[in-house]
Structure 1
Amino acid sequence: MTKEVLLHLLQEGECFHLEAKKAERDLPASIWESYSAFCNTDGGIILLGVSEDKKKNLSVTGIQDSSKLIQNFWNQINNKQKVSDNLLFNHQVYPFTIDDKEIIVIEVPRADRHYKPVFISDNLFSGTYRRNADGDYRCSREEVKAMLRDQADITADTTIAEKIDWKELDKDTIRRFRMRFRNMKPGHVWNTLDDVEFLLKTGALKRDRNTSGICTTLAGILMFGTEQLITEQFPNYFLDYREVEDENRWTDRVFSSSGDWSGNLFDFYFKIIDRLTSSVKVPFKLQNGLDRIDETSAHEALREALANALIHADYYGRRGVVVVKDKDKLVISNPGTLRITLDEALEGGVSDPRNTVLFKMFAMVNVGERTGSGLQNLRYVWKDMGLPEPRLVEKFSPDQIYIEIPFTNGDSFSLLESEDDFHKGMVRESPVSYRRVPDKVPDKVPDKVPDKVPDKVPDKVPDKVPDTLTDNQIRILELLSENNRLSMMELSEKVGISKRKILDNINKLRDQNLIQRLGDNRTGYWNVLIK
């Protein structure tokens, strides 16, 4: 790590990827909680010899004997009673001198899924931590179990569902799947098989080696089952597609528990895919000079994005697969975390599906057959179209992966749960924030980072509160007058309306020069221009 990067980290303060500890003479006990948290989340940096004051500013206090402290660190991290796994190499723990004071830098990597959870004090369930904003929290049993499931190389969807007869699967879905397979591959030898033999080839069914009986796999239930059958195995299973007109109304909706269709993955995909891609413009283009081409690379990329969400979802997770579309963007979310690093996901070429049988079955009908290139392809296509780059986000507690795909170049409110989550560092998105280095770095760490203040107050500020303001807008003014650092989420809770409505009202108050923002989204505050 260079001095410039380190100074920038100190200037930014503690965050999702940075933890500072005073540790003047000894290792603090909390260092192991932070180590576990960074390993189980997305990696990060621990700085020893750095203190944080009440205003969240960092200052270098120094280490008295860095070599002794480093040796003590290695002794403890290699003790299985202290930490379950040491994932560090020598070059990731080192002393650093700033302003004639020594500190210790510990670069903690994100653990490979085979090593998670990394826990402390020889206690799996009470000693497993994760990172949330600028602190560490103890994982719930549900989170620990999810990490344990992801350790296995044989994915969960291959598991046999006990006491489920394959005849309980939805026959119409099986017929539609076979019809599509036959149309895609008319000469394939599997087309001559009966349903049982065909489903055995797909992985939807398995032969019991002890009894030679036919058993249904979890993948078979997800792909060909009914909603009732699926929720018996996955109580939190839910599929939801919405076309949003505003935050409270939708013009079209398809969800798995509606009761008027099967509710399984195969039918969900083909019920919504045309709706999902209908916003993509198709230029007039002929193939061989005769037939119009109705498909573009954008259609293909969107199909891949939806398939990836269904294939990589953790169906034991609390949240279902949710697809929300409005005129400006599409947001696809699925339960579970990334099984590879975010950088690997963005670069493409690495595939580690959570449900390998589902992957195989979708690929059989030419859906999601690209290995590890779906997101990379989507980014390239959107760049060629001149649109903003799609955004991939990993969120924890509950574990979710979001991909937000813009349809326009205009700025609009995110359909993700809260923009404040990003500013507080509660989610992980690309690019990695702690790798951003400013063009110009100060020679030393400033005592206080100055707020970014506008040049002047707007010329026209009303003398009194306009009569046209709504009750909610007046309430927002009152709250910001009492506490000018309230976040959108806090305002939403106090006013009793959604975060999107809060943002709309904030923008209207700014347009009328009643409030202004001083500083950035993370450290700034609101200035109420009228009392």
Structure 2
Amino acid sequence: MDVNKLLEIKEGSNMELKKAKNQVPKSFWETYSAFANTDGGIVIFGIDEKSKEVTGVTDAYKLRDDLFNILNNPSKVSANIISNKDIKIMELENGLKILIINVPEAPYNLKPIYLNGNPQEAYERLGEGDRKLSSEKFKALIVGAKKETDNELLKNYDLDDLDRETLEMYRKDLYDQTNNEKYKDIDFKEMLIELGAMRKNRQVNNEYLLTTGGLLFFGKYSSITDRFPGFQLDYFEKKSSLDTDWIDRVSTGDMAYPEMNVYKFLKIVLEKLNLTIKDTFILEEDSKTRLPYKSDLLTSVREALVNSLMHAYYDSDKPIKITAYPDYYEFINPGKMRVTVDEFIHGGTSDIRNHTMSSIMRRIGMSEKAGSGGPRIFDVAEKYKLKLPEVIRDQYSTSLRIWKVDLEKIIEKYPSPQKEILLYLIKYQSISRAEAEENLSIENYQFRVAINTLLKEGVIDLIGKGRATRYWLKTSSSEYSYSMKRLLRFVEDNFI
């Protein structure tokens, strides 16, 4: 490998350099904990982090063995998440050797990764630095390490803590969904036990107790906030993301919604989302039959709404926030989605934070087959040639944007020649200066100004240098993952 290429590497949120000439540096362990508790990252041994000088390591194989010995010492680190494939020894052109160590994000059930047998020595990665976890963030990772987070049995709670109107609504929906006479007048306690909203306390006297999932889904607002002080559900309809004013709002704690719980919020907001979707007339190209645009988009936003409620971390002091804008919908919930963006888009992988509420919703048809929501959301966007959804997994929250407009409509806001360049990129994926001059009649100076503007806005990327430079539409991780899914589907359909 060329030494000069290494000199271009800079430290960042996912990159750390360590001199590590003869031994594993003490500072590595804070970085190991931070990367493992955040989004993962790469550490390179053999580059001085201060001078950026490539110093190499004295004995790469001994250093690797020393690293594994310490990683597997439980008194040093709470868990080892690095395997042989995560460490590469690389020899440079000048004979020096470096170690490249990939620290993956730790599985949620192993978080937080901490040091020296002390849970208070747990770190996260913020910018280029490793920072100790606050007590609130530490608690979030501890709670998040549980397979289920809404099955806690609640002592000193009973049916009086539940909202009767909500129970009646659900019982009716259960009967309508199943047409089973059993559910027409089923006793509420019997219904809750069948749903798993109440469970037997096998550790004490086999008494049935309310679960936290049952409380969140059916509870009275005051009873919910006794257990979850930060409980907050918000829906806004706005004209613009820049507006502080809203057209419509649904919020827990408001006088208009005195007994708001998860189920009432789900029902009310779903109806309001339905009203924001215009029944656009769209024909299928081959059959010339009308496509069910409104129904399909409502399915997509319903999946996103249910996804937010099922995966939220309700012990957070941050709200679940749903916002409807003219061009897109935004769903934000506290709690990092447990599956990766790739797994969410491809489907088939499900790791739900709130199993009890998921099961309750599935019984009335609000939640489909586990792991199918992501593919359904992306397939609707592809079907109507909409801008693909955006999925962001932050350390303590998850955001999903679903667009109602196609790329060409978004591009209409740009002046010429930026608009012509972007439309060309949608059709042909990339463009060069010569192609712009030949196919779009854009002169060299105009092209340079337009391209620089688009580069500054982060809309496009460039590859190559000089005359070989080509410009591409910048794709998010969501867009890239979905393009890979489509490619695999094409291969399966045509070659397997």
Contact in 2 for aligned 1:113/1:151 (Cα 8 Å): yes
User: How far is the alpha carbon of 1:353 from its aligned partner?
Assistant: 0.8
- The corresponding residue for 1:16 is 13
Contact in 2 for aligned 1:112/1:340 (Cα 8 Å): no
**Counterpart mapping for 1:465-480 below 5 A:** none
Query: SS of the residue aligned with 2:229?
Result: coil
Report the CA distance shift for 1:208/1:78 in structure 2 as closer, same or farther (over 3 A): closer
- The corresponding residue for 1:71 is 65
Higher relative contact order (CA 8 A, sep 6+): 1
- The corresponding residue for 1:103 is 98
Contact in 2 for aligned 1:158/1:217 (Cα 8 Å): yes
- The corresponding residue for 2:223 is 229
Report the Cα distance in structure 2 between the residues aligned to 1:7 and 1:402, rounded to whole angstroms. 39
Report the Cα distance in structure 1 between the residues aligned to 2:456 and 2:8, rounded to whole angstroms. 15
- The match for 2:213 among 210, 219, 228 is 219
Report the CA distance shift for 1:386/1:95 in structure 2 as closer, same or farther (over 3 A): same
Give unpaired runs (5+ residues) of structure 2.
284-289, 412-443, 460-496
- The corresponding residue for 2:400 is 403
- In structure 2, what residue type is equivalent to 1:123? N
User: How far is the alpha carbon of 1:10 from its aligned partner?
Assistant: 6.3
User: How far is the alpha carbon of 1:9 from its aligned partner?
Assistant: 8.1
**Counterpart mapping for 1:275-314 below 5 A:** 275-283=272-280, 296-314=295-313
- The match for 2:36 among 17, 26, 39 is 39
Contact in 2 for aligned 1:83/1:121 (Cα 8 Å): yes
Give unpaired runs (5+ residues) of structure 1.
413-454, 460-509, 523-531
The superposition leaves residues 205-228 of structure 1 with CA deviations (integer Å, 9 ceiling, x where unpaired) of 234444454422111110111221
**Counterpart mapping for 1:51-450 below 5 A:** 51-52=48-49, 60-100=54-94, 101-125=96-120, 127-153=121-147, 155-187=148-180, 189-209=182-202, 210-245=204-239, 246-261=242-257, 262-283=259-280, 296-396=295-395, 399-408=396-405, 409=407, 410-411=409-410
Contact in 1 for aligned 2:6/2:54 (Cα 8 Å): no
Contact in 2 for aligned 1:150/1:339 (Cα 8 Å): no
Aligned residues: 414
Contact in 2 for aligned 1:319/1:400 (Cα 8 Å): no
Using the aligned pairs only, state the percent identity: 29
Report the Cα distance in structure 2 between the residues aligned to 1:520 and 1:224, rounded to whole angstroms. 46
Query: SS of the residue aligned with 2:331?
Result: strand
Report the Cα distance in structure 2 between the residues aligned to 1:98 and 1:404, rounded to whole angstroms. 44
Report the CA distance shift for 1:224/1:36 in structure 2 as closer, same or farther (over 3 A): same
In the superposition, the TM-score normalised over structure 1's length comes to: 0.71
Report the Cα distance in structure 1 between the residues aligned to 2:373 and 2:45, rounded to whole angstroms. 40
- In structure 2, what residue type is equivalent to 1:120? L
User: How far is the alpha carbon of 1:338 from its aligned partner?
Assistant: 2.2
Report the Cα distance in structure 2 between the residues aligned to 1:519 and 1:63, rounded to whole angstroms. 39
Contact in 1 for aligned 2:174/2:183 (Cα 8 Å): no
Report the CA distance shift for 1:383/1:98 in structure 2 as closer, same or farther (over 3 A): farther
The superposition leaves residues 358-381 of structure 1 with CA deviations (integer Å, 9 ceiling, x where unpaired) of 000111111122211211221121
Q: Relative to structure 2, which stretch is displaced further, 300-309 or 37-46?
A: 37-46
The superposition leaves residues 152-179 of structure 1 with CA deviations (integer Å, 9 ceiling, x where unpaired) of 33x2211122211212210001111111
Report the CA distance shift for 1:369/1:26 in structure 2 as closer, same or farther (over 3 A): same
Contact in 2 for aligned 1:24/1:62 (Cα 8 Å): yes
Contact in 1 for aligned 2:17/2:44 (Cα 8 Å): yes
Report the Cα distance in structure 2 between the residues aligned to 1:111 and 1:292, rounded to whole angstroms. 43
- In structure 2, what residue type is equivalent to 1:112? P
Query: SS of the residue aligned with 1:272?
Result: helix
User: How far is the alpha carbon of 1:91 from its aligned partner?
Assistant: 2.5
Report the Cα distance in structure 1 between the residues aligned to 2:379 and 2:12, rounded to whole angstroms. 31
Query: SS of the residue aligned with 1:300?
Result: helix
Contact in 2 for aligned 1:301/1:377 (Cα 8 Å): yes
Report the CA distance shift for 1:252/1:10 in structure 2 as closer, same or farther (over 3 A): farther
Quick check: which one's helix share is greater? Answer: 2
Query: SS of the residue aligned with 1:242?
Result: strand
- In structure 2, what residue type is equivalent to 1:39? A
Report the CA distance shift for 1:342/1:283 in structure 2 as closer, same or farther (over 3 A): closer
The superposition leaves residues 475-506 of structure 1 with CA deviations (integer Å, 9 ceiling, x where unpaired) of xxxxxxxxxxxxxxxxxxxxxxxxxxxxxxxx
Contact in 2 for aligned 1:39/1:109 (Cα 8 Å): yes
Contact in 1 for aligned 2:17/2:49 (Cα 8 Å): yes
Report the Cα distance in structure 2 between the residues aligned to 1:99 and 1:292, rounded to whole angstroms. 60
